[in-house]
Amino acid sequence: MTRLPAARRRKGLRLVPVLALSLLLSACASNAPQDTLKPEGPYARKIDHLFNPVFLIAVAVFCLVQGLVLFAIVKFRRRPGDEDFPEQLHGNTRLELGWTILPAIILGAVGVFTVPVIFDLSEVPKNALQVEVTGQKYWWSYTYQAQSKFGISDPIITANELHIPAGVPVALKLDSKDVIHSFWAPRLNGKKDVVPGRVHDWKLEADHPGVYSGQCAEFCGISHANMRLKVVAHDKAGWADWVAHMQTKPTKPTSGLAAEGYDLFAQKGCSGCHQVDGEYQTVAADSPSAPNLTHLFSRDCFAGCIYNLDDRNEVEAWLRNPQRKAGSLMRIGQLSEAEIDRLYAYLETLK
Amino acid sequence: MALTEERPLLELTAGDDEVRQPLGSFRRPTSTTGWRSWITTVDHKRIGILYGATALTFFAIGGLEALLIRAQLAQPNGQVLSPERYNQAFTMHGTTMVFLVIMPMLAAFANYLIPLQIGARDVAFPRLNALSFWIFLFGGLFLYSGAVLDQIADNGWFNYAPNSGVLYSPGHGIDFWTLGLQIAGIASLLGAVNLIVTCINMRAPGMTLMRMPIFTWMALVAQFLLLFAIPVITVALFLLMFDRLFGGNFFVVQKGADPLMWQHLFWIFGHPEVYILVLPAFGIVSEVIPVFARKPLFGYPFMVFSGIAIGFMGWGVWAHHMFASGAGPVTVAAFSLSTMFIAVPTGVKIFNWIGTLWGGKLQFTTAMCFAIALVSQFTIGGLSGVTHSISPSDWQQTDTYYIVAHFHYVLFGGSVFGIFAGFYFWWPKVFGRCLDEKIGKIHFFTWLIGFNLTFGPMHVLGLQGQPRRTATYADGMGWNLMNLLSSIGAFTIGVGFLIFIFNVVKSRNNVVTDPDPWDARTLEWATSSPPPAHNFDISPTVSSLDEWWHRKYELGDDHKLHRREHPESFTAATPPENIHLPSPSYWPLIIAAGLPFIGWGLIYSYWLAGFGGLLTFVGIYGLVLEPSVDPDAGHHGHADTHDTHEPEPAAVVAGAAEAEEDADQ
């Protein structure tokens, strides 16, 4: 039997911690918008504050165990020619009881800190903005019922981008139209599954105005990866502006390409599924759920937040072929370039 | 149908062909070499090898699927696979690795080793054992047969409702998955019953439970887990089958079902399953480390009882897979705490392994390297497990790559590394040939680096918010580098596997003559390599834990251990003549071959199902009516086989007991 020289052996096994450390270091360097370790709100921070000490304990145990293993590998290796047996030790009850009880105590302590946080985070916040979130293949819709406290007098329905005021708790009611999804904006809170036939309570809060990225976290089908979302947190004035804007109704275009697009919107069947408040109010009874387009162009992204609305090419590509997003339920037929121009002109009026 | 000790069938005269071949058409197989001997064998060792070879083949397939996944994710907006193909790849990767690789791999070790380690001639029900293998094989083939028609499951190995329903998954992929796993489940259940009875009833005289080798112990605990867990998944699969094929409404939300019911059923199976996958691997390294540390296992009773504790506690933690599913805070808190405390018995194992290394004289064979790597890597998997037993942090981590990292450290860094420690360790016993140690070391280091490079970065990816089961990710999320590293690592593992295969091929010429090349401790090393069909020429009697080691060494007057000149092994110069082993049979293969037809029939045409049912039915009758020991075979040229001229009467008793128990099934 051949044996590797001891030095090479040790080097190989040392790779494990070295690799782990270098990974951790490189992790800190990169800029990740969905980083769970950089919380931007009280709920996410609460989780982070629980995770950090446990992570440190884990690192300590990691170092202890790997240290002991490495030490044993180096110290107790069999020297060539040594045929004697080491001491035939069968165990040590005290030691073994020790390493049974000690971890149990440490874990018990961790448990004591964990349980209150579970209850805290499960509590529905008071004086919160209420938003109904509906998950469906493969996008999010949000309904804000009238809430005078937040300046909302008529219900607001929007998609993919969840607008909230910063520094205010937001109570979410999660429901699904089809399969199980999971609502997750990592820097504002953990995730909660969105289960059809159930309404789950969840909550968010952002400390500061900003845009926070998130996405569906429960596998939901072919375009699961394309079911993303944004949470846009506003300062006080920005929130008031947004609400005020969302309370307006678009004006129906009367001339030019946009007016032709308006007619086309009905002719091509768009209005069978997509609502436009004040213009196309009712959709077909059996239509698949489709985003409300009333204020489409006040958003940044569409189709599960994977395409940019301010890029005209992406909107046109979508109208040319909505199936470019796998699993899209939108059926529109082949449009001519002229028709696409008209539709685009109309959609652009839906600010 | 009890064939009593009277054994009328055994007393037939040579002319009674009609009864000897109950269904007339088949001549009873007699070959002991060639492919026919393999498809009709009831020898636990050959069945073990068949399990191992099949699992290794599926490992290559599941590995290729993993490489497809990593090729797709190496860069943002990957174009290697369509989303549909990607979903199929990760679904089949998970399903394959769990059900068709690690479970049968451990069945391979358990089948091969348990009878040898407890000093028995075979398992309790050798023909049932053959049936288990063939059902497993046909289950696996059925699962993959959908690929021929491009009907491949794409809803993940967990297959959550309601996306698994006909409404959202109208193809037949999930039907193949549902039926295939039900078939494979029969195999696991039969195997579990068989091995439990074997461990309880077939131990050599003197082998009390607390003298049973640790691998056998851990495999026994795993069999009990199988016995209770498989029925739960079978119920779930059965209900889903009714939903999909017969218009049932068990998981149809529109008809008032709660889709979380599937999750509960799945994870009540799924969590004990984790311990089914890892406990036997723990057993393997607990055998390997003492041999190469030249010390007994540190704290054998603690190792046994921590294994049993894991077996019990494993049933009380399933809802930690569902922390974000919508359970209330009381449930979440309870399962958080139970999950934390299951780390205690696992920690005991880690520390006891270190205790075994401590003060030893460690010899770094490839098997030892894999075993020590398991200790290190499983620790990482266990610690990340503790971080998400904290359910609030699990709300961040669940369904991200952090979880993928975690369970690969447990199941690859743990189970698979343990299995490969077992390969390098027992290869000379099983084949009488050694895997090359130099190539083995290259394999080991390739895997050590490849494995950590693949799954280490996934911790970071998960904490940076990359969800799992996503076919693609956008640029600018900060995930590019880690994903690239991970993909490089995955292909490194692939290279390592090829090195292993090369080693296997090369081992053909690497004959070892010493039946005990590692100076090992347990009974399987006290017989020749490979062992004879009847395992031991002389049936062992046991007076201590690590019986074989105690037969080899004694404490001298100088208080040092000395090797005895001629340790009492269980091989005889002239092989015994009167051991009855059950005869080979076609029927297990035929019973199993009917099952996939039932499956295809349920999906496509009931005529096929009728044919399959008939095949299985006839097979069952054939197996039951056929005497387990062919009266024509086995003792040709001998006088009355129940004579007592054998020096060790235990041998006769053991041989006959098996034949009877087998017939009684």
Q: With helix as H, strand as E and coil as C, how does A214-263 read?
A: EECCCCCCCCHHHCEEEEEEECHHHHHHHHHHHHCCCCCCCCHHHHHHHH
Cα(A132)–Cα(A127) distance, rounded to whole angstroms?
A: 16
**CA triple B288-B293-B296, angle to 5 deg:** 80
Cα(B140)–Cα(B312) distance, rounded to whole angstroms?
A: 29
The pLDDT of residue B618 is above 70: yes
Mean pLDDT of chain A: 91
Range of the domain at B202: 31-575
Confidence of residue B656 (pLDDT cuts 50, 70, 90): very low
Mean pLDDT of chain B: 91
Interchain proximity A95–B355, CB inside 8 Å: yes
CATH number assigned to the domain comprising residue B145 = 1.20.210.10
Interchain proximity A225–B384, CB inside 8 Å: no
Residue B52 has φ and ψ, to the nearest 5°, of -65, -45
The pLDDT of residue B50 is above 70: yes
Confidence of residue B566 (pLDDT cuts 50, 70, 90): confident
Average pLDDT over residues B138-154: 96
Average pLDDT over residues B218-231: 98
> Residues of A105-129 as b/e, b for ≥16 C-beta within 10 angstroms?
ebbeebbeebbebbeebbeebeebb
Contacts of A190 in chain B (CB under 8 A): 324, 392-396
**A222/chain B closest Cα distance in angstroms:** 6
Cα(B44)–Cα(B125) distance, rounded to whole angstroms?
A: 10
End-to-end alpha-carbon separation of chain A, Å?
Answer: 77
Question: Please, what is the angle between helix B366-389 and helix B260-293, to 10°?
Answer: 140
In percent, the amount of chain B with pLDDT more than 90 equals: 83
Average pLDDT over residues B167-181: 96
Number of domains in chain B: 1
Confidence of residue A17 (pLDDT cuts 50, 70, 90): low
pLDDT in tens, B180-190: 999 999 999 99
Q: What is the pLDDT of residue B637?
A: 37
Burial of B607 (0-12, 13-18, 19+ CB in 10 A): exposed
Interchain proximity A107–B341, CB inside 8 Å: yes
Cα(B442)–Cα(B435) distance, rounded to whole angstroms?
A: 12
Say if B116 is an interface residue toward chain A (CB within 8 Å).
no
Q: What is the pLDDT of residue B31?
A: 77
The pLDDT of residue B362 is above 90: yes
Residue B417 has φ and ψ, to the nearest 5°, of -60, -40
Contacts of A93 in chain B (CB under 8 A): 299
Confidence of residue A15 (pLDDT cuts 50, 70, 90): low
Q: What is the pLDDT of residue A19?
A: 62
Are A43 and A231 within 8 A, CB to CB? no
Cα(B130)–Cα(B128) distance, rounded to whole angstroms?
A: 5
Q: What is the pLDDT of residue A23?
A: 60
Q: What is the pLDDT of residue B17?
A: 43
Same fold, A1-23+32-76+124-240 and A256-348: yes
Average pLDDT over residues B586-597: 96
Structure tokens at B438: 């130099």
A256-348: CATH topology is Immunoglobulin-like (2.60.40)
Q: Which of B350, B360, B469 sits opposite A219 (nearest CB)?
A: B469
Is B221 part of any domain? yes
Residue ranges covered by each domain of chain A? 1-23+32-76+124-240, 256-348
Contacts of A303 in chain B (CB under 8 A): none
Is B651 part of any domain? no
Q: Which of B286, B350, B376, B401 to mutate to test the interface with A (most CBs of A within 10 A)?
A: B376
Cα(B297)–Cα(B546) distance, rounded to whole angstroms?
A: 10
Is B294 part of any domain? yes
Q: Which of A50, A121, A225 sits opposite B472 (nearest CB)?
A: A225
Contacts of A69 in chain B (CB under 8 A): 354, 357, 372, 375-376
For chain B positions 540-579, those within 8 Å of chain A (CB to CB) are: 553, 560-561
> Residues of B266-287 as b/e, b for ≥16 C-beta within 10 angstroms?
bbbbbbbbbbbbbbbbbbbbbb
pLDDT in tens, B419-459: 999 999 999 999 999 999 999 999 999 999 999 999 999 99
Interchain proximity B333–A118, CB inside 8 Å: yes
pLDDT in tens, A183-207: 999 999 999 999 999 999 999 999 9
Interchain proximity A77–B397, CB inside 8 Å: no
A1-23+32-76+124-240: CATH topology is Immunoglobulin-like (2.60.40)
Say if B170 is an interface residue toward chain A (CB within 8 Å).
no
Average pLDDT over residues B260-272: 97
For chain B positions 452-491, those within 8 Å of chain A (CB to CB) are: 452-453, 456-457, 459-460, 463-474, 476-479, 481-482
Identify the DSSP state of B638. -
Between A25 and B5, the higher pLDDT residue: A25
Confidence of residue A14 (pLDDT cuts 50, 70, 90): low
| Closest residue in B to A92 (Cα–Cα) | B299
The pLDDT of residue B1 is above 50: no
Average pLDDT over residues A82-109: 93
Say if B296 is an interface residue toward chain A (CB within 8 Å).
yes
Interchain proximity B438–A2, CB inside 8 Å: yes
The pLDDT of residue A283 is above 90: no
Interchain proximity A77–B362, CB inside 8 Å: yes
The pLDDT of residue B397 is above 50: yes
Structure tokens at B302: 């603690």
Contacts of A26 in chain B (CB under 8 A): 460, 481-482
Instruction: Give the containing element (helix H, strand E) for A68.
Output: helix A42-75
Interchain proximity A218–B393, CB inside 8 Å: no
Say if B259 is an interface residue toward chain A (CB within 8 Å).
yes
**CA triple B373-B379-B384, angle to 5 deg:** 130
Q: What is the pLDDT of residue A8?
A: 46
Q: How many helices (H) and strands (E) does chain B have?
A: 22, 2
Lowest mean pLDDT among A27-31, B105-109, B309-313, B652-656: B652-656
Q: Which of B168, B346, B391 to mutate to test the interface with A (most CBs of A within 10 A)?
A: B391
Tell me which residue of B569, B304, B541, B288 sits closest to B422, measured CA to CA: B288
Interchain proximity A50–B438, CB inside 8 Å: no
Identify the DSSP state of B256. T
Q: What is the pLDDT of residue B29?
A: 80
Cα(A336)–Cα(A319) distance, rounded to whole angstroms?
A: 10
pLDDT in tens, B455-513: 999 999 999 999 999 999 999 999 999 999 999 999 999 999 999 999 999 999 999 99
Q: What is the pLDDT of residue B502?
A: 98
Q: How many CB pairs under 8 A join A and B?
A: 331
Interchain proximity B383–A62, CB inside 8 Å: yes
Average pLDDT over residues A314-339: 94
Interchain proximity A30–B392, CB inside 8 Å: no
For chain B positions 378-407, those within 8 Å of chain A (CB to CB) are: 379-380, 383-384, 386-387, 390-400
**A253/chain B closest Cα distance in angstroms:** 36
The pLDDT of residue B18 is above 60: no
Tell me which residue of B437, B444, B455 sits closest to B420, measured CA to CA: B444
SS3 readout for B539-565 = CCCCCCCCHHHHHHEEECCCCCEEECC
Structure tokens at B632: 């024509």
Between B31 and A194, the higher pLDDT residue: A194
> How far, in Å, are A92, A348, B197, B515 from residue B45 at the CA level?
37, 73, 17, 16
Cα(A183)–Cα(A202) distance, rounded to whole angstroms?
A: 9
Say if B445 is an interface residue toward chain A (CB within 8 Å).
yes
Interchain proximity A195–B336, CB inside 8 Å: no
Q: What is the pLDDT of residue B26?
A: 57
Average pLDDT over residues A247-264: 93
Interchain proximity B363–A54, CB inside 8 Å: no
Q: What is the pLDDT of residue B557?
A: 86
Is B598 part of any domain? no
Question: Please, what is the angle between helix B300-313 and helix B260-293, to 10°?
Answer: 170
Structure tokens at A285: 């009874």
Q: Which of B463, B466, B468, B472 to mutate to test the interface with A (most CBs of A within 10 A)?
A: B463
